Every structure is written in C-alpha cells, then in structure tokens.
C-alpha cells in the first residue's frame, strides 16, 4: 500500500510491483544501442520496489541500470503511470516511446497516456544513481547511496474526464471553526466538451455539489470556500483526521487532513496555541536489508520504538520519506521535520551556487510540498543541512529556498540545520534554527555545549534572530552495539549514553532551546569508499550513532534517553511486552 487509506475507490489502479527484467549498463551504452526498443537478452530479475545494492554481487554499484516489465491492459483507454520514487535520473519509455525524464529520488512523478490500446505494452526505465557535485545529495554524503526503483509503481485507468488534483487549505477562525478552501482540478481527454457533476464529501457526508463544464481536451478548476464548525483539532494526544473526497463523474480522489495551527512566538513553538517542547530523534528511512525500499511493516515498528522512547517528533533526515510513514505519523499524532537532501558538511560553498544544483533543489522542494502539504504531522519544511552558512553563496541559496517555501505554504515555519552556529550569517532568514554540533564526539568535551549556547544566543541577538526558536537538531556519538565495559571508552555503548544524556541535560536546562533531535535513531550504512578519505571513523561501514542498531536492537543510550524523555528512571520498564 502506498497510503494507509484508499485514495481511489472509483478510479481503477494497480501496482506494477514485482520482478522486473534488469541489467546494469556499466559502460553507459544502452541509449546509443537503443535498449529502450530492444532490451538486452539474458537480463537479471530485480524486485520492484527495491534497491539493487541489497542483492548479492551488486552492493557497491553506482551508475546506470535498466528495468523492463510487460503490462497487459484488458481494455483500450487513458492511463496514468506513477513512479512513487526512483533514485537519481529516471527516463521512462512506453512501447519504445520516451514519456519523460525525472531527476530526484524521493518524490513521485507521473505521465498521462491518452487513448492507449488494449493488449501487451512494454515499460522500460533507465535509471542513473550517479552522484556528482550538483546532484541531490552530492557525491560526498554520509549515508549509503542506494540505487533503483525504491517505491511502488502504479498504473491507473482514467475516464474521459478525470481529477488531476485535490488541494485543501484552511485557516482556523476559532477553537473548532475553520475557513476551508477546497480546489479540484479536472482534466478532459475527450474530443467533446463535457458537463461533469462534482460532489465533495467530508468523512462520507456531502458538503458541496456542482456541475462543471469542460471544453474538449481542456481543464477546469472547481473552487469551494466554506466555514466549517464543530471541528476537532489534530493534537498529539488525539490526532483527529478528516477524509476529504471528490467525486467527479466516474472518477474520485480522497485525501486526508487534520486541523491545527503551528506558530512561533518569541523563542517558543506553539501547536494549537500551546507551547511545545520537542523531544525527537533523527531517522533515516533505511535498513541494511531493504535500503531505501523500506517495508511498511517495519515503519510501524520504528514508530512504536520511537514512541516508547518518549519522542513527540522525528526529523526525517535527510530526504522526503514515504507517504505511508507520514500517514502513520498523522494517525499517531507525531510531529515531523521534513527536508530535502542538500547535505553540506563537505560541500564547497561555490557548489551551493551551481545553477543546476539550485534548480534541482527548488524542484525537489516544490515536489515535496506538493505531495505532503496535507499532512498535519509536518511541522517544519527544512531547506538544507550543514551547508557553509558562513558564505554569501549559502545565504543566496537560502533566500531562494525559503522564498519558494513561503510562497507555497505559509502555515508552517521554514527551517534548516546549521553546523556553524557561531559564524552563521543566515540566522535571520529562518523561522526556526536547528543546530548540529558534536561536542563529546568531533568537537571537544560534551560540557562545552553550555558555553556554545551562550555564545550562540548572543549571536542570534546580533543577527536579528533573538525571537527565533532554536532546536538542537543533531548531537551524539558512536556506540558499537554490544561494546560495553567498566569505563566509558570512545565507541562503547557507555560513552555514547554518557554524552547523549549529558548533552540532553544541558539543552533541557536552557530556556532558549525548544527541543532536541538526537543523532540518530538507528545505525545506518555509511558511504565509506576505499578511494576517499571521508568517514574513516565509520566502523563496520556504518554510522554507529544510532540509539538502536541497524536491526533495531536497543543500545544503552536508548534506555537512558527513554528515561529522560519519559521522565521515568526505570529504564527497564518493559511495559506490556512481558507476559
């Protein structure tokens, strides 16, 4: 399932997931040799969705690979093909015809194919996972870069007039009242003009009906604005959700919203007018057996583990995560920090001004907001991580990205994570500031956090950010699972637990800090390469700063953080898990 609820009941939709033909194109000759028309013989088989690096013998391949499947359509008609995420470049061919290209990795893209014939069709995808200086992320990045079709592929049948999108926005006008705008875009693939009855439903009850006229092959938008009352707010303790459905002729589209406000006031972050203290972790959507093709079932378990630890928020480091995951967070009342993969620790400042990188960043940001705008769980949009925010280039990029976010969505704060808190010149551009800092690990003794924060608050005053909330968005250290002893040695579970708990103590005592995101939830594969010097401290080729290991087994730090976040010192409270 792509979502936790059914988006279409009338529109027929099927997943093309399964075993596809697959071949690496290590010398990149496929285009010249026309593989989209004549797929090479003797190809392998590859699961879709999946990352090829998780299959035997394919671990470290980065580059071009081709996929092919055959699709049988029982009837002639219009089709919509949706890729929910393909890593890097994707070129899609249908019966040899180039449908289009997408660059990205974590956001969906699709193609509408009118008047297709019944019978068997061939679908070919050329992917390229190569990382370069202007890809997102770039070639120097601290996570394993998997390749492949990582999320489902969906094929829908469209009627002559179909719904192109459903957009719901609102403004709370009182505790339980809101001014709600619903906009339904309609498209016609018919040679004749059409009159289409459209009905809108909230949780199954119709609230608007109207007939819309579409010219032949044209588009139209239905816009409705209504004051709604008797609404329940989306709160962490009671995350009320509403299904909004549009039915237009023989097509339908359902999405889900929750009513809440997010604001900042001085150094505080307010949810529904109430002050929030954020207790979080950073989570990569990654697992050593599945890579980025993270199974839905494991998402439920990740979330259970994180909630049991006492978190009320998660940072989706460092890229747009699955829609299914966001649906789960909506349902469980967990707040989410959503970001795009501009990972800058090793990114030269000149590269942040590369027009291709800037264009790709704006596109991915736009696609992420388009996909996820309705999720009440999303608390912040974050535009970059650890770029050189001492530089004019980073300032200019921040202006462009924050401008785009504010133009698309004014209902959420825009944020970023800085690794240069004392030299950052971008502080005044954001609604919330995140600090990534590793005292106790890369940068001296953990106790130095108190002095760092004092100096940082002073700098905020100089840069017009004295009323901007501050979060500690990364801190921690590596602890190798199972390595414990009588002294807290570096890389032991003991030392990791010590620095995380000491850092939390300092941050929680600072009234100007509004919350913490520990680095990180689970150990992840690192991008350790024999020809590069980065990440030589990544033992086992993993970033070992997880509170749980890559198989989600708890380390000492997990239990210690659970004690702090839940306010219970009994770290070995097994809850209802013991019979």
Separation in Å, CA 404 to CA 275, 362, 368: 27, 7, 12
Pick from 322, 291, 284: nearest CA to 53: 291
Compare residues 409 and 537 and give the one whose CB is closer to ligand ADA.
Answer: 537
The reply on whether position 142 binds ligand ADA by CB under 6 A is: yes
Q: In the complex, what is the shortest distance from the CB of residue 317 to ligand ADA, in angstroms, rounded to a whole number?
A: 6
Preceding amide of 49 cis, omega within 30: yes
Beta strand 513-518 pairing with 470-474? parallel
What radius of gyration, in Å, describes the C-alpha atoms of the chain?
A: 24
Q: In the complex, what is the shortest distance from the CB of residue 538 to ligand ADA, in angstroms, rounded to a whole number?
A: 8
Q: Residue 160: left (phi > 0), alpha (psi -120 to 50), or beta? A: alpha
Q: In the complex, what is the shortest distance from the CB of residue 2 to ligand ADA, in angstroms, rounded to a whole number?
A: 27
Give the length of the chain.
579
Q: In the complex, what is the shortest distance from the CB of residue 555 to ligand ADA, in angstroms, rounded to a whole number?
A: 15
Structure tokens at 157: 């049948």
Q: In the complex, what is the shortest distance from the CB of residue 304 to ligand ADA, in angstroms, rounded to a whole number?
A: 24
The reply on whether position 436 binds ligand ADA by CB under 6 A is: yes
Compare residues 317 and 338 and give the one whose CB is closer to ligand ADA.
Answer: 317
Size of the site for ligand ADA (CB under 6 A): 11
Compare residues 186 and 478 and give the one whose CB is closer to ligand ADA.
Answer: 478
Compare residues 140 and 453 and give the one whose CB is closer to ligand ADA.
Answer: 140
For ligand ADA, the binding residue among 474, 493, 494, 527 (CB under 6 A) is 474
Structural contact between residues 343 and 385, judged by C-beta atoms closer than 8 angstroms: yes
Compare residues 53 and 543 and give the one whose CB is closer to ligand ADA.
Answer: 543
The reply on whether position 494 binds ligand ADA by CB under 6 A is: no
Pick from 134, 120, 121, 116: nearest CA to 94: 121
What whole-number distance in Å separates Cα of residue 567 and Cα of residue 579? 24
Tell me, what DSSP letter sits at residue 146? -
Q: In the complex, what is the shortest distance from the CB of residue 45 to ligand ADA, in angstroms, rounded to a whole number?
A: 34
Task: State which of positions 532-551 bind ligand ADA (CB under 6 A).
Answer: 543, 545
For ligand ADA, the binding residue among 385, 402, 514, 516 (CB under 6 A) is 385
Compare residues 287 and 545 and give the one whose CB is closer to ligand ADA.
Answer: 545
The reply on whether position 386 binds ligand ADA by CB under 6 A is: yes
Sheet bearing 219-228, strands edge to edge: 161-172, 178-188, 219-228
Q: In the complex, what is the shortest distance from the CB of residue 537 to ligand ADA, in angstroms, rounded to a whole number?
A: 9
The reply on whether position 345 binds ligand ADA by CB under 6 A is: yes
Structure tokens at 275: 């002050």
Q: Coil, strand, or helix at residue 192?
A: coil
What whole-number distance in Å separates Cα of residue 349 and Cα of residue 67? 36
The reply on whether position 69 binds ligand ADA by CB under 6 A is: no
Name the residues that contact ligand ADA, by CB under 6 A: 142, 317-318, 345, 385-386, 436, 474, 519, 543, 545
């Amino acid at each position: 399932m792509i979502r936790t609820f059914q988006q279409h009941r009338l529109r027929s939709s099927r997943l093309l997931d399964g075993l596809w033909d697959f071949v690496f194109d290590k010398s990149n000759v496929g285009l010249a040799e026309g593989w989209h028309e004549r797929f090479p013989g003797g190809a392998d088989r590859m699961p879709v969705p999946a990352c090829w690096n998780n299959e035997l013998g394919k671990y470290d391949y980065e580059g071009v690979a081709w996929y092919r499947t055959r699709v049988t359509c029982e009837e002639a008609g219009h089709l919509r093909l949706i890729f929910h995420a393909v890593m890097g470049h994707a070129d899609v061919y249908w019966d040899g015809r180039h449908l289009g290209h997408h660059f990205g990795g974590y956001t969906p893209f699709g193609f509408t194919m009118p008047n297709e014939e019944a019978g068997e069709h061939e679908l070919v995808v050329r992917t390229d996972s190569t990382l370069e200086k202007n890809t997102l992320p770039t070639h120097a990045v601290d996570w394993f870069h998997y390749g492949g079709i990582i999320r489902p592929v969906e094929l829908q049948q469209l009627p002559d007039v179909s719904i192109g999108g459903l957009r719901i926005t609102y403004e709370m006008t009182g505790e339980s009242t809101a001014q709600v705008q619903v906009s339904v875009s309609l498209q016609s693939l018919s040679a004749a003009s059409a009159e289409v009855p459209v009905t809108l439903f909230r949780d199954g009850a119709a609230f608007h009906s109207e007939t819309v006229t579409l010219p032949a092959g044209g588009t139209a938008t239905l816009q409705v604005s209504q004051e709604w009352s008797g609404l329940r707010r989306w709160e962490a303790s009671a995350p009320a959700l509403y299904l909004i459905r549009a039915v237009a002729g023989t097509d339908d589209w359902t999405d889900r919203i929750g009513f809440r406000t997010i604001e900042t006031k001085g150094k505080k972050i307010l949810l529904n007018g109430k002050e929030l203290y954020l207790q979080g972790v950073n989570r990569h959507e990654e697992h050593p057996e599945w890579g980025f093709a993270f199974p839905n079932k494991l998402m439920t378990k990740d979330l259970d583990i994180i909630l049991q630890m006492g978190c009320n928020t998660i940072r989706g480091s460092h890229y747009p995560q699955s829609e299914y995951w966001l649906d789960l967070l909506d349902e469980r009342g967990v707040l989410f920090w959503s970001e795009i993969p501009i990972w800058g620790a090793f990114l030269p400042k000149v590269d942040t001004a590369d027009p291709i990188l800037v264009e790709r960043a704006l596109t991915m940001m736009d696609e992420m907001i388009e996909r996820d705008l309705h999720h009440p769980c999303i608390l912040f949009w974050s535009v970059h991580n650890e770029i050189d925010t001492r530089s004019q280039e980073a300032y200019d990029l921040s202006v462009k990205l924050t401008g785009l976010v504010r133009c698309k969505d004014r209902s959420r704060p825009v944020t970023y994570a800085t690794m240069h808190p004392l030299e950052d010149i971008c502080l005044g551009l954001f609604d919330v500031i995140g600090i990534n800092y590793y005292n106790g690990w890369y940068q001296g003794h953990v106790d130095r956090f108190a002095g760092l924060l004092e100096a940082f608050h002073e700098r905020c005053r100089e840069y017009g950010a004295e009323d901007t909330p501050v979060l500690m968005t990364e801190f921690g250290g590596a602890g190798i699972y199972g390595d414990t002893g009588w002294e807290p040695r570096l890389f032991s579970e003991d030392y990791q637990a010590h620095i995380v708990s000491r850092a939390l103590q300092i941050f929680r005592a600072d009234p100007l800090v509004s919350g913490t995101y520990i680095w990180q939830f689970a150990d992840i594969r690192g991008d350790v390469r024999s020809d590069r010097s980065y990440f030589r401290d990544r033992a086992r080729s993993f970033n070992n700063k997880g509170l749980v290991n890559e198989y989600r087994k708890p380390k000492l730090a997990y239990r210690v953080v659970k004690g702090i976040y839940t306010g219970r010192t009994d770290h070995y409270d097994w809850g209802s898990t013991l019979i």
